[in-house]
Amino acid sequence: MNRIDDISTPRRTKEIIQRYGFSFKKSLGQNFLIDQNILNKIVDAADLDKDKGALEIGPGIGALTEKLAQAAETVTAVEIDQRLIPILREVLEPYPNVTVEHGDVLKVDLRDLFERRFGGVSKISVVANLPYYVTTPILMKLLEEKLPLENIVVMIQKEVAERMAASPGTKDYGSLSIAVQYYCEPQMVCTVPHTVFIPQPNVESAVIRLKVREKPPVHVEDEAHFFEVMQASFTQRRKTIANNLKSRFFPGEGRERLEALLQEAGIDPSRRGETLSIEEYARLSSVFLKAGIR
Ligand code: SAM
């Protein structure tokens, strides 16, 4: 039997693209991986096994999908670009454990997909080289829907990965860090040079692993309220937390009640939102709720 090259080798990728006359759509974030090392690092970070499932978002021509098929029991890949579906069906034919679905992952009913595709597996992870134009909405959808996930291992823009993993008091720390860290423990896997993609993106990339927590690190009574207080605190980064919260929760009022509530939560009103930990936001939300501030 002839040994066929992996899909991700530059030679085979170019051959597939030419054979199908495929043209890249920048608007869909199409930058395909052509580097075995990086692909192996992504798959290793997901800690897959022959009894686990992987959901891939945006398989492209199947470079990562092929590696996932070799490492996991079941792989489902959701691709928005209809032109890639027949290509994927053909190049992934040697892997009967892969299913390709056509759709926009932001619109797909993921719970239903999980029930249909991952019935027999012990754990499920999302593994993807994400389209950069929709990274945050995709990740927030995965997290907010509280899907039964073990890990989310994604290649994303380096700057976004740094924001997700940032600690309080650093320049990258903000509402995205808190939202991600409420649901997951982030860990940077590696940074990635432009040269491993075709076409090459004009931003730097990184792989991040988000280990999904079994329960949040803090007790929050009302998640929507907690996120609203937290987001309001970052409305204008240069303003103090008291000034940001005043415009959202106490318009037209003096500062006394707000300052008393901040003190009750153990937070100095002159601090800025970027210095508060998740625990402090949880405490603040709870103090506001007790005082009827919504
Ligand atoms: N996984 C391939 C690789 O690593 O070579 C391709 C990655 S490429 C960065 C992103 C892929 O996501 C493209 O195939 C693109 O068509 C697809 N995509 C873009 N937006 C999407 C969406 N909303 N839902 C599903 N797939 C999407």
Looking at the chain, the number of H-run helices and the number of E-run strands are 12, 9
Task: Find the angle CA(186)-CA(142)-CA(287) to the nearest 5 degrees.
Answer: 70
Q: Which of 39, 129, 138 to mutate to test the pocket of ligand 1 (most atoms within 8 A of CB)?
A: 129
How many whole angstroms from 163 Cα to the centroid of ligand 1? Answer: 22
- Which distant-in-sequence residues (6+ apart) come within 8 Å of 70 by Cβ? 95
106 lines ligand 1 (CB under 6 A): yes
The whole-number pLDDT of residue 1 equals: 41
Beta bridge partners of 138: none
Q: What is the separation of C-alpha 117 from the centre of its chain, rounded to a whole number of angstroms?
A: 21
What CATH code would you report for 10-212? Answer: 3.40.50.150
Q: What is the mean pLDDT of residues 202-231?
A: 97
Is 3's pLDDT higher than 80?
no
How many whole angstroms from 77 Cα to the centroid of ligand 1? Answer: 10
Please, what is the average pLDDT of the chain?
96
User: Taken in order 136, 137, 138, 142, is the CA torsion positive or negative?
Assistant: positive
CB atoms within 10 A of CB 97: 16
196 lines ligand 1 (CB under 6 A): no
267 lines ligand 1 (CB under 6 A): no
- Residues 83-129: pLDDT tens digits? 999 999 999 999 999 999 999 999 999 999 999 999 999 999 999 99
Please report the atom of ligand 1 found closest to the CA of residue 56: 1
% of the chain with per-residue pLDDT over 90: 97
> Cα(130)–Cα(273) distance, rounded to whole angstroms?
29
Which stretches does DSSP call E strand in the chain?
32-33, 53-57, 74-79, 98-102, 124-129, 151-157, 184-192, 197-198, 205-212
104 lines ligand 1 (CB under 6 A): yes
Whole-model pTM over 0.85: yes
Provide the pLDDT confidence category of residue 254 given band limits of 50, 70 and 90.
confident
The fold of 223-290 is Helicase, Ruva Protein; domain 3 (1.10.8)
- Which distant-in-sequence residues (6+ apart) come within 8 Å of 221 by Cβ? 285, 286, 289
How many whole angstroms from 105 Cα to the centroid of ligand 1? Answer: 10
Contact 283, 265 (CB under 8 A): yes
The whole-number pLDDT of residue 2 equals: 47
The whole-number pLDDT of residue 65 equals: 98
How many whole angstroms from 76 Cα to the centroid of ligand 1? Answer: 13
- Residues 167-208: pLDDT tens digits? 999 999 999 999 999 999 999 999 999 999 999 999 999 999
